[in-house]
Amino acid sequence: MQVLVFSAKEYDQQFLTMQQHADLSLHFTDVRLNEETCQLAAGYHAVCVFVNDQLNRNVIHKLAELGIKHIALRCAGFNNLDIDAARQNGISVSRVPEYSPEAVAEHALSLMMTLNRKTHKAYNRIRESNFSLKGLLGFNLHQKTVGIIGTGHIGLALVKILRGFGCNILCYDPQVNEQAVQHGGQYVALNELFQQSDIISLHCPLNSATHHLINAQNITQMKSGVMLINTSRGGLIDTPAVIQGLKNQHIGYLGLDVYEMESELFFEDLSDTVIQDDIFERLSSFPNVLITGHQGFFTKEALLQIASTTCHNLLLHHQQQTDQHTYLVRPQDFVQ
Ligand code: NAD
Residues flanking ligand 1, CB < 6 Å = 76-77, 98, 101, 104, 149-155, 172-175, 203-206, 209-210, 231-233, 257-258, 294, 296-297
- Residue 55 amino acid letter: L
pLDDT confidence of residue 331: 47
pLDDT in the model for residue 319: 84
Catalytic residue among 74, 87, 95, 233: 233
Q: Which residues pair with 201 in a beta bridge?
A: 148, 229
**Ligand 1 centroid to 51 CA: how many Å?**
14
Instruction: State the distance from the centre of ligand 1 to the C-alpha of 305, rounded, in angstroms.
Output: 18
Atom of ligand 1 nearest to the CA of 233: 34
Predicted pLDDT of residue 328: 58
> What are the C-alpha distances in Å from 302 to residues 21, 76, 93, 238, 305?
20, 11, 20, 29, 5
- In the reported structure, the alpha carbon of residue 203 is separated from the centroid of ligand 1 by a whole-number distance in angstroms of 5
Active site residue 262: yes
Atom of ligand 1 nearest to the CA of 209: 18
**Does this complex have an ipTM over 0.90?**
yes
Q: Which of 199, 195, 248 has its CA nearest to residue 228? A: 199
The mean pLDDT values, 10 residues at a time, for the chain of 336 residues are 97 94 95 97 97 96 97 92 95 91 97 98 97 98 98 98 98 98 98 98 96 98 98 97 98 98 94 96 97 96 95 88 51 39
Does 102 qualify as catalytic in the annotation?
no
Distance CA 185, CA 173 (A): 11
Torsion of CA 275, 279, 283, 286, to 10 degrees: 90
87 belongs to the catalytic site: no
